Amino acid sequence: MKSRFLLMLSLLALAGCATTPVAKRTVGLPAEFSVALPAADLDVRLAEDLRTSANPLRFRADGTVVPCRSLVYYAPMEAALARALRDAARPAGEGVLRLTVLDFCADERGETPVARVTLAAGKRRASAVRPLPEGWGAPDLRTALAQALQEAFAALFQEQ
């Protein structure tokens, strides 16, 4: 009985080693990117539909929505986005600003696939869209989402 258990445990360990590991990535905001935040701290939350997935969503041309499993962040998506945005924020006020990520996705429903990010802080909203190259992969999506996140975050506080 003990030898069977050890054999099964060995087989399971070998099966786990046979899978191809997926590279875990940072969000990708450039280190020099910085935005004056009209608060002392930032509370970042994902919209409810985004919380169901550990990966950015992918809106396919056929109308289906699936997680983009090829892009995996080093931490749960909400934590990775919160860390990246907090690192980019220069506190310039008091209190906590609650930021909600409404869109963080690859959208293939139009003629050209795009990465789309939409942020909301109170009644303010900002969106950014970046085109994805033909035959795009995880590195392309990561770069496009980071650029869109940077643009949307900066736009959210431009007119304050």
pLDDT in tens, 127-159: 999 999 999 999 999 999 999 999 999 999 875
> What are the domain boundaries of the chain?
23-157
Hey, how many other C-beta atoms are within 10 angstroms of the C-beta on 59?
20
23-157 CATH:
3.40.50.10610
- pTM of the predicted model, to two decimals? 0.83
Q: How far is CA 154 from CA 19, 32, 148, in A?
A: 40, 13, 10
Hey, how many other C-beta atoms are within 10 angstroms of the C-beta on 106?
23
pLDDT in tens, 31-60: 899 998 889 999 999 999 888 888 999 999
pLDDT exceeds cutoff 70 at 6: no
Contact 2, 123 (CB under 8 A): no
Contact 99, 120 (CB under 8 A): yes
